[in-house]
Structures are given as structure tokens and as C-alpha cells.
């Protein structure tokens, strides 16, 4: 099975206001700079950048089909906008570059945003709420019993992400991966090559459940940084943003968004979590 995780540690932590999906007004007009929507309509195609390796947001199933929460949501959005979907696969940096240079219209890959990125990109209304957690060894919790214990530990992740910046800010030694699979990440923690993985709670919950024989676990009661994620677009894609948000509003209202969420996360991630968030790190990212 090609289910994978932790490839694009892209969940960033600066919150933006959750506009209840019904708050965006649908618009049929474009601004003078919004040539992206004109291209989308001309080609009748929404080009979506994703990783194809981030389980359960974007991954290949047993039939070698690209599926996942973000993928299924954007396909439903496109259907409601009478558009076809074309996917292109990159790592996180490649996805951001693809949107910036116009080779992709948006990113569907569990993308969150921070203040600096918000100046460069537009994010849709949230389709997912979550928070950060840590995967450690079952045998000894990797010696981590407080956030201060991250000092000197080997933290695994994709370079330049906020999760790695948090680990570094706490004194951890960074071990960087590029497009690695979930089994590689978890096995390396189990055998001591690394000590901890900071990442999105729901993704880590799914990863550990998918690989129950790997002796790792999510460290309880050490959750951090409430976050929300959605689809990331070029700053000038104002018409796409409005139409996409209206489709999401309709999907929330008719229960489609919740249904897709429960299919992949076995939980309603469209609502804010009830778990106690122990700490908030203010780490910015480009």
C-alpha cells in the first residue's frame, strides 16, 4: 500500500479567522489582475498541486488512485464548479513555486498559513482544524516528558517547515528528510536513529494506526499550536477564492464536508478540537 505521511510538514501555526463556510459571497466577476480564473474557465480545468504522499490528505490507494481528504474535497468543489481536476505532484517547496509561477492554480495538501505567507498567498476557508503533537518511542517516550526535554533530541522532519523550526527553537538536533514514507519516519524513531517527530495530530494518529507493529506512540498531554488548513492560492486569485469558498459553504451546509472528513480521519476535523492545547509556539515561516 502506498499510504505515506510526513512528507510535506506544511501545517503552519499562525491562525486566521474561521469564516463559517457560509460567510463568503459568490461572485461571477473577475478583477483586472485575476487572469488565473480566465485561464481556468478557458481550459475548463483546475490544476491542483499536491504531494501524493501525505496520508490521509493526499496519497495513492491500493488501486494506485490518488485519493485523500484534501483531494476528495477539491474534486467535489471542482464538480460543483463544473471543472475538471488535473493534479501535479511536488514536495512543499515545489507546490508553493507552482502556485507562484502559475503552473498550478492551488495547493491541496493539508496546507496551513502564517502571517508571512499570508502576505504572499490566499487561503480558502478552513476545511480542517488540528494541533501539533509528537511521536516518540513506546519504550521510554524518547526521554521526553516536557517541552524542555526536546533539547538535544533528534527531531525528524522536512527541512524549513515550522515543525522543524519549533524543534530547533527548543534545542533539538534536526534530521531532515525529503519525500520519505511514514514507515521510514516511524521506524527511524523506533530504532533510535531519531527521537521525535513533531507534526499534525490527526496525521500522526493515522500513521501510528496504520503501522501498529512499529513501537512508537503519540505523546499524550503535550499538544501545541491550534491550527487550521485549507487550499492555498495565488494572492491575485480573488475569483477562484470566492467561488471555492462558496462551494465549501454549500458542502458544509449539506454535510458533504463532514462526511468526507469522517471517511479519512474517523473524526469531524471541520470543527475546532476539544483537546487541551498545552503550549503555543510563535514560529514564522516563509
Mean pLDDT of 150-154: 98
The pTM (predicted TM-score) of the whole model is 0.73
Q: Which CATH number fits domain 130-224: 3.40.190.10, 3.90.230.10, 3.40.50.10300, 3.40.1080.10?
A: 3.40.190.10
Residues facing residue 154 across a β-bridge: 173
- 285 band by pLDDT with thresholds 50, 70 and 90: very low
- 85 band by pLDDT with thresholds 50, 70 and 90: very high
Give the contacts of 98 (CB within 8 A, at least 6 positions apart). 49, 88, 90, 104, 107
Domain 21-129+228-265 in CATH 3.90.1170.50: no
List C-alpha distances in Å: 116 to 15, 96, 99, 102: 12, 13, 16, 20
Give the contacts of 93 (CB within 8 A, at least 6 positions apart). 160
Residues spanned by CATH 3.40.190.10 within the chain? 21-129+228-265, 130-224
Per-residue model confidence as pLDDT tens digits over 155-188: 999 887 889 999 999 999 999 998 788 899 999 9
Cα dihedral: 134, 180, 51, 156 (round 10): 30
Closest CA to 176 of 197, 192, 191: 197
Amino acid at each position: 500500500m502506498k499510504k505515506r505521511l510526513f512528507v510535506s510538514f506544511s501545517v503552519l501555526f499562525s491562525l486566521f479567522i474561521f469564516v463559517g463556510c457560509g460567510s463568503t459571497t459568490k461572485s461571477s466577476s473577475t478583477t483586472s489582475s485575476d487572469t488565473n480564473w480566465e485561464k481556468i474557465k478557458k481550459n475548463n480545468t483546475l490544476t491542483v498541486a499536491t504531494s501524493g504522499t501525505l496520508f490521509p490528505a493526499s496519497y495513492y490507494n491500493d488501486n494506485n488512485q490518488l485519493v485523500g481528504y484534501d483531494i476528495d474535497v477539491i474534486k467535489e468543489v471542482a464538480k460543483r464548479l463544473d471543472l475538471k481536476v488535473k493534479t501535479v505532484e511536488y514536495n512543499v517547496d515545489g507546490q508553493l513555486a507552482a502556485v507562484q509561477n502559475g503552473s498550478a492554480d492551488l495547493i491541496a495538501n493539508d496546507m496551513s498559513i502564517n502571517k508571512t505567507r499570508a502576505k504572499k498567498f490566499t487561503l480558502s476557508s478552513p476545511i480542517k482544524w488540528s494541533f501539533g503533537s509528537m511521536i516518540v518511542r513506546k519504550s521510554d517516550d524518547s526521554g521526553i516528558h516536557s517541552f524542555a526535554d526536546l533539547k538535544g533530541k533528534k527531531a525528524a522532519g522536512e527541512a524549513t517547515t515550522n515543525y522543524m523550526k519549533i524543534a530547533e527553537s527548543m534545542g533539538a538536533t534536526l534530521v531532515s528528510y525529503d519525500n520519505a514514507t511514514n514507515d521510514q519516519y516511524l521506524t527511524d524513531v523506533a530504532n533510535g536513529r531519531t527521537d521525535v517527530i513533531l507534526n499534525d495530530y490527526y496525521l500522526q494518529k493515522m500513521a501510528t494506526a496504520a503501522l501498529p507493529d512499529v513501537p512508537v506512540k503519540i505523546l499524550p498531554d503535550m499538544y501545541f499550536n491550534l491550527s487550521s488548513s485549507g487550499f492555498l492560492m495565488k494572492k491575485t486569485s480573488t475569483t477562484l477564492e470566492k467561488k471555492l469558498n462558496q462551494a465549501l459553504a454549500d458542502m458544509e451546509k449539506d454535510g458533504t464536508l463532514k462526511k468526507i472528513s469522517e471517511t479519512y480521519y474517523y473524526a469531524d476535523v471541520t470543527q475546532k478540537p476539544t483537546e487541551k492545547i498545552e503550549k503555543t509556539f510563535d514560529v514564522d515561516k516563509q
